[in-house]
Each structure stands twice: as structure tokens, then as C-alpha cells.
Amino acid sequence: MSDIIQLLPDHVANQIAAGEVVQRPASVVKELLENAIDAGAKNIHLILKDAGKTLIQVIDDGTGMSETDARLCFERHATSKIKEAEDLFNLSTKGFRGEAMASIAAIAQIEMKTKQADAELGTCIQIEGSKITNQEIIPSPVGTNTAVKNLFFNIPARRNFLKSDAVETRHIIDEFQRVALVHADVHFVLNHNNSEIFNLPSGNLKQRVVNIFGGKTNERLIPIDEDTDVLKLSGFIMKPEFAKKKRGEQFFFVNDRFIKSPYLHHAINAAFDGLTERGTHPGYFLYLKVPTNTIDINIHPTKTEVKFDNEKVLYEILRAAVKHSLGQYNIMPALDFTKDKNLETPYSYKDKPISAPKIEVDPNFNPFKTESNFNPFQEKETKTTKSYASPSKSFSSKKNEGSWETLYNGLESIANTPVIENELNPQLFETKETKLVKDTFQIQNKYILCNLNTGTYLVHQHLAHQRVLYENFLANITVKEASSQQLLFPISINYSKQELHILKNIKEELESTGFMFEDMSKDHVIVSGIPTTISESQISMVFEQLIEDFQEDIQENSFSQLDMIAKSLAKTLAIKTGTKLTDVEQEVLIQDLFACKEANISPFRKKIYTTVTSKKLDVIFNTD
């Protein structure tokens, strides 16, 4: 039998390695930014075109490279960070494997210009698919200018797996923020399609957080600072009342490297236990400094997962430090049994002189006197009296009634007078006269058991309302002309630059649904008009859900941006599980559901109802 094992060609091996390092354009951005940081750059400019698919360019003012190093950096396992195996456990830099540039060069076209400070001229290298096509000496500023063009040009299958430009841009912004949050002393600029998204001047950590996530973040931050033998902890946590349902502002950095650690995240949640609503996640920006020999960062290709030697100790320190900061800044409720607040002097009376209270006595007062000049009903009837007493039986007494018992004359007529109230019975659905549903019964405020002419059905009320709203919104957007209501006072809502970038991308679609905007710049959105189907109090909730859906790639399952918006609005405004519905609301919901084009499937492809037949019941009870 002949030998079947053979060595792979270099270009194939490089493409396989590239599959581990370069998953999407954001992976290239991460590697290039980290190389610039390791080179000591103080100004880094990131330029993107078509979400990095066409161009990813990083310009820095770091140390640069010599002509030999510039060529050698594209070879596999060529690095200046480590020299022996022991160095892997004492790493203080970002990149160290020497695979990043070689992997990028295997699946893209690269042009790199670099120059050292003591060199008169720089070097320009052009590479296409791991092959150097050109190398020349050129005049160049100090630093490195790397342009990665046409990512996955030689692997069309990999390029087809990339998401939309909006999704890929969001991943790039995530990587950009993670690097920028660690290095607040570096000036970062991000441009996408000739539009500036971020311009982060150098400063302190708090300024960097505020510049990225908006001015609203400044008042929400609580500083944290703990120094122990095994851990030095610094950074900020967000106040509990600003916890969000989505995980977007949770950042762990270990030795200036972003990591993901569900175990340490659980420690933060444990510290906030009882202070945040269920299902919400507090925000934090925490920086951990640990000895380099106590962690292993070489367990994952992206280096976002690390292994600690003493995880349990770090967990307890982290939880205690967060609790301490919450208590130190009076965020956590406290009980002090040594003070009685009822005995404390009010602040407004602190400087006033103390005087004895005056006592006045009426010497002519006789509580047993049968006739009294005082008549509480001598005055005119108040509005309250007129509302409850009939005109023919007013209980206003004459002056100087002979007995105190006459004071209660007329009260009987008040007790028998019916109270007129304006009963408000808000309906979730418009009532319809035509009754197509025979009987309905709500189960656990979640399901509706209904009896129709065609049989008995068990309906999920939340999914059913999603389908009804989705088709209504889609019809209003695409077929009918969207109706809008003008707000008397425009509403201003603050967002981070990343969230604002998402809203700008779908501004035209939002306007077609009925939203009207006065301004959408800097870190806020001013809304002047909303669709008639949305209340003013729901604006912020609708936008937050839209942003979250956009970030979670839900639009990839939609036909268009309008379809995605209709789905998001339906999910946000649909009645929630646990909502008690009246009989009329149940009937109208079932009636509207079966009037839809696709009544059996929700907008997110979930089953809405099931048919309850005698055969199914026989199977449940094991009867014939």
C-alpha cells in the first residue's frame, strides 16, 4: 500500500491558519490595532470601506520597522515578542504568536509602508495571497501604514459567509472600543466610508469611557479601586438603576487585554444582587492587574479567554470590591438603628432660635352647652357637597339649630345617593360587534383556550399578538401611507456613538413608519413625531429594541430593513406573558389572529397555536 500522508503546500497551510486567526474583518482590525499599540503608537487612525471588505487601513506613528523586519513579519511564526517557551507565561504585549500578518497576507492584498525614526527612507511592500509582488524604498513618515484590501479575494466561499455591512461594522466597532478603552493615552480615530464615527482624544480613563458611550455615562459611573497581594482592581461600575436587558457595556480587561469570563461576570451579578431588576445586567469597565505567571492567555486563538490559577480568590475579591464601592457611594440601602430620624432637627430650623410654644385658653368654652353659635354647615356648599347631595335634600342647616343632633340631618340622603365615577377600562384591543369566537379561557395569563367552529385551539397570546401587530405594521409601512402624530414637546434621547450609528443607518426606514426627527447628531436623538400606534412613553423602549435586534443580526432573517423594523416593533409592543386579558380582549385577539395571512407562525418562525383534539387527549390520559 502506497503512502498517503503528504505535506501541505505553504499557501494551503497559510489559508488554514488564516481560518483560525481571520474570521471576519473585525479580526484583521484587532490584529492591526494591537500591532500599532505594541509599536508604541500615540496616534492611530483606522480607515474602513464597505465594513472592511474592501479596505482596512491602520496608520500609526509607532517605531516602525526596518526593511528586513518588514519582509520577515509576513512569515509564519516570526515574532519579536518571544524567544523561548518560558516567555509564553510572562507576556506583557498584545500579539506574540507571529501568525497574524502571515494569515492576513494569505487571504488578502496588503500594502505596507513603514519607516523607523533613525532611517532616512521607508520601505513599501505589496503582497497578494502570501506572495510578495513588489518591494521598494520610498519616502515615508515615521510609523507604519498598513492597508488590507479585498479580504478573502482568493476564497470566495469565505467571503460569501460574511454578514451585511451593518453587522460587520458593528463587530469592528466592538474590537475598536475594546482596544481604545485600555489605552486612554492614545488618540484614536475611526472613519468608515469617508464618515467619521469616533474621534477619541487622549486623556484619562473616565474621559475615554464618556467619549465612547456618550455624556450621559458620566453621571452613571461609580469608581472602584482595590489593591491586594494577588490582584489590583480599578475602573468603574454603573449605577444599578441603569442596568440594561442587553449585554453591551460589560468589559473585563486583564493586564490590558480584553477577556470574556462568565465566571467573573457572575461575581459582578452577585454583588448587584437585589439592586437590579430581574433579567437586567449591570454595566462595568473593570481592569485587573495580576502577575503574568498566574494566567494562561494561549488557550484560545482570539486570546479573549484566559485561565487563572486562583479563580475562586479572584471571584471573592471582585465581588467584595464591587459591594464595597456600592456601599461607599451610598448606592446600597443601609439601616442605622442608633439614630431616630424623628428626633433630628430639620435642616431649615437648624439656625432658628428655640422658643416655648404659646398656649391659649378660652375660659367661656363649655362642651355641654346645648346651643352653640358655631355651625360648621353655616358656610356655602362646597363643590364636594354639590356633587354628592341632591338639590332637593341639602343638609346645610339653618343658623342656631337647637340641638347638636340636627347637625347629622341629611346625611342619610348622601349615603343613598349613588356616586358618579368615570370608569376607565383600558382595552388592549378594539372591540368588535361580530362575535366569531364561541368561548375563550385564559390559562396562566399566557395561553388562551378557544372554541371555534372549526375546533378547539390553544393559542400563545404573546406570539399571537406579535403576528397581528407585525402584519398591521407591515401593511402601514408598505401598502398604506404611514400616519404620524406631532409631539407638542420634542423628546431628546441620549445614545452612544455606536447606537447612534445604527439609528442613522435606518433613519429613512424609521421615517417611513411615521417617526420624525429634528436632529440626530453627536450623542442624542431629538424625536418630533411618532407613529399613531405608539405612545410617547414607548419611544425609548422601541429604539432600544431596534438597536438590540440590529446588533443581534435579526435583520439577516428579514427581507428588508422595513421588514426588520416591523418585526422589532411587533416584538416590543406585543402583550407580554403574564398579562391578564378580559373576555372581550381574548375574543378580539383570536379573531384578529385568524384574520392574518399566516396565523400559525409568528414573525420569528415560532408556532403560535396547536389544535386540541380528542385523539391528543386520549394519548395524554392513555385512553382509547
DSSP symbols for 108-177: SEEEEEEE-TT-SSEEEEEEETTEEEEEEEE---SEEEEEEESTTTT-HHHHHT---HHHHHHHHHHHHH
How do the domains of the chain map onto residue ranges? Answer: 10-200, 213-328, 387-416, 439-612
8 Å CB contact between 614 and 473 = no
Which of 111-125, 244-258, 362-376, 489-503 has the least mean pLDDT? 362-376
User: Interhelix angle for 165-182 vs 205-213, to 10°?
Assistant: 160
- Other CB atoms within a 10 A radius of the CB of residue 293 amount to 11
CA geometry: angle 174, 177, 180, nearest 5 deg: 155
Give residue 319's pLDDT: 92
Q: 10-200 maps to which CATH number?
A: 3.30.565.10
Nearest Cα residue to 570 out of 490, 484, 502, 475: 475
Q: Nearest Cα to 71, choosing from 114, 21, 9?
A: 114
Q: Under a CB-based contact definition with an 8 Å cutoff, are residues 29 and 47 in contact?
A: no
- pLDDT (tens digit per residue) in 555-572: 445 557 778 888 888 888
CA distance 332 to 252: 23
Note the residue count of the chain.
624
The residue behind cell 493615552 is 185
Joined grid coordinates for residue 360: 391659649
The DSSP bridge pattern shows strands 187-192 and 43-49 to be parallel
Q: What is the pLDDT of residues 458-516, one digit of tens each?
A: 999 999 999 998 988 888 777 766 778 888 889 988 888 778 878 888 888 888 788 88
Distance between CA 584 and CA 7 in Å, rounded?
Answer: 74
Kindly indicate the confidence band of residue 342, based on its pLDDT and cuts at 50, 70 and 90: low
Per-residue pLDDT reduced to its tens digit, 100-111: 888 888 889 999
- In the three-class reduction of DSSP (H, G, I as helix; E, B as strand; rest coil), residue 233 is classed as strand
Confidence of residue 405 (pLDDT cuts 50, 70, 90): low
Assigned C-alpha cell, 97: 504568536
d(CA 36, CA 187): 12
Helix H or strand E encompassing 235: strand 232-238
Strand partners, 114: 123, 144
Nearest alpha carbon to residue 222 among 236, 211, 234 = 236
> What is the three-class DSSP state of 84?
coil
pLDDT at 238: 92
User: Partners of 585 in the beta sheet?
Assistant: none
Statement: residue 58 has pLDDT above 90 = yes
Q: Which residue has the cell 464595597?
A: 324
State residue 390's pLDDT score.
42
pLDDT in tens, 62-88: 999 999 888 888 887 777 666 565 555
Of 237-241, 518-522, 537-541, the range with the lowest mean pLDDT is 518-522
Q: What is the DSSP string of 86-113?
A: GGGGS--SS--SS-HHHHHHHSSEEEEE
Predicted local confidence at residue 391, as pLDDT: 43
**CATH architecture, domain defined by 439-612:** 2-Layer Sandwich (3.30)
> Residue 448: its pLDDT value, please?
92
25-38 vs 165-182: helix crossing angle, rounded to 10: 20
Q: What type of residue is 570? A: A
pLDDT at site 150: 93
Confidence of residue 387 (pLDDT cuts 50, 70, 90): very low
- Residue 423: pLDDT band with limits 50, 70, 90: very low
Given a contact cutoff of 8 angstroms between Cβ atoms, the answer to whether 81 and 95 are in contact is yes
The whole-angstrom distance between residue 8's C-alpha and the CA centroid of its chain comes to 45
Strand, coil or helix: what is 211? helix
Range in 23-32, 480-489, 534-543 with the lowest mean pLDDT: 480-489
**In percent, how much of the chain has pLDDT > 70?**
77
For residue 410, pLDDT over 70 is answered with no
Do residues 308 and 230 lie in contact, with contact meaning Cβ atoms separated by under 8 Å?
A: no
CA dist 309 and 621 (Å) reads 55
- Cell 489590583 sits on residue: 232
CA distances for 363 relative to 343, 357, 535, angstroms: 34, 19, 64
Higher pLDDT, residue 68 or 339: 68
Report residue 428's pLDDT band, with 50, 70 and 90 as the boundaries: low
388 vs 112: CA distance, rounded Å: 88
Answer whether residue 37 shows pLDDT above 70.
yes
Residue 244: closest CA among 203, 213, 215, 286: 213
pLDDT, tens only, 125-182: 999 988 889 999 999 999 999 999 999 988 888 888 888 887 898 899 999 999 999 9
pLDDT above 60 for 305: yes
pLDDT at 424: 45
Residue 586: which residues within 8 A CB-CB, separation 6 or more?
437, 440, 442, 448, 450, 461
Read off the pLDDT of each residue in 324-330 and give the average, rounded to a whole number: 82
**Within 276-392, where are the H helices?**
311-328, 383-388
The CA-based dihedral angle spanning residues 593, 599, 602, 608, taken in that order and rounded to the nearest 10 degrees:
80
φ and ψ of 447, to 5 deg: -120, 155
* pLDDT score recorded for residue 483: 76
Higher pLDDT, 428 or 178: 178
Q: Worst-scoring range by mean pLDDT, 24-28, 151-155, 237-241, 478-482?
A: 478-482
**Which is more confident, 256 or 340?**
256
Tell me which residue has cell 468589559: 251
Considering the domain 213-328, what is its CATH architecture? 2-Layer Sandwich (3.30)
How far is CA 91 from its chain centroid?
A: 33
> 540 or 435: which carries more pLDDT confidence?
540
Residue 373 pLDDT exceeds 90 = no
Window from 47-56, 83-92, 296-305, 345-354 with minimum mean pLDDT: 83-92
| CA–CA dist 249, 421 (Å, integer) | 48
Q: Which residue has the higher pLDDT, 423 or 223?
A: 223
- Please check the confidence at residue 99 and state whether its pLDDT lies above 50: yes
- DSSP E strands in 325-482: the ranges are 439-443, 447-452, 455-460
* Cα 485-489-491 angle, rounded to 5 deg: 90
Stretch among 77-86, 146-155, 417-426, 583-592 having the lowest mean pLDDT? 417-426
| C-beta separation of 255 from 288 below 8 A | yes
Residue 183, pLDDT above cutoff 60 = yes
- Closest C-alpha among 291, 319, 288, 294 to residue 307: 294
For the residues 376-393, what does the mean pLDDT come to?
Answer: 44
Q: Quick check: 595 pLDDT over 70? A: yes
Averaged pLDDT of the chain: 80
- Angle, helices 583-593/461-474, rounded to nearest 10 degrees: 60
438 contacts 452 by C-beta, under 8 angstroms? yes
Q: Where are the beta strands (DSSP E) in 27-82?
A: 43-49, 55-60
Question: Please, which residues have CB within 8 angstroms of residue 329's CB and are 6 or more apart in sequence?
Answer: 222
Residue in the structure block whose three cell numbers are 517605531: 63
